[in-house]
Amino acid sequence: MCAAIVVGAVIFYTNSFQENATLDTANTPSPTPATTKFQSSSVMKFSIDVQQNFVVQDNNGFITIMSGENQILISKNGTNFNNINDFLETLQNQNRFKLTDPIDLLINDAEAIAGTFGEEKIYYVMPNGAYRVYILSTKSPQLYSALDQIAKSFRYTP
């Protein structure tokens, strides 16, 4: 009798699953692409997580991350400022540009400001006490989300 109940439950479960086996793919999140850790040269001193299908070139002073014809650039500026707000305010005044919709962030213990200038999405990241600012940017709207993921993974490695 116990075996009959188990067999009946299995048949009921199998039949009900087959009737409802259609997935609603419109509301199913896409899987995040696999990433790999990239450690820059000793000149740049940082690590990031990059999607495995991207090509990374360390140019010993700036990094280029490519996906087809589109690219993300990472560069570094030395500074005498000890906070990101003063650095960015001076940069904007001297170069006569204004970052649109700036957002103050903290990325792995580093002060950061993200925003846009025209179609360029930019992150300015200043590691605590490093007197340097890293600039992560792309002019390719299709790479904005990849830039966000890379920026979130940024780690200063002195």
Q: How many CA atoms lie within 13 A of 127 on its CB side?
A: 16
pLDDT at 9 > cutoff 90: no
pLDDT digits (tens, 9 = 90+) for 118-132: 999 999 999 998 899
Which residues is 47 bridged to in the sheet? 39, 155
pTM of the model: 0.77
**Residue 153, C-beta contacts closer than 8 angstroms, at least 6 positions apart:** 35, 47, 48, 49
Q: How crowded is the C-beta side of 76, counted as CA atoms within 13 Å? A: 21
* The predicted structure's pLDDT at residue 31: 41
Domains of the chain, first to last? 33-156 (3.40.1000.10)
Q: pLDDT at position 84, please?
A: 95
Predicted local distance difference test score (pLDDT) of residue 35: 84
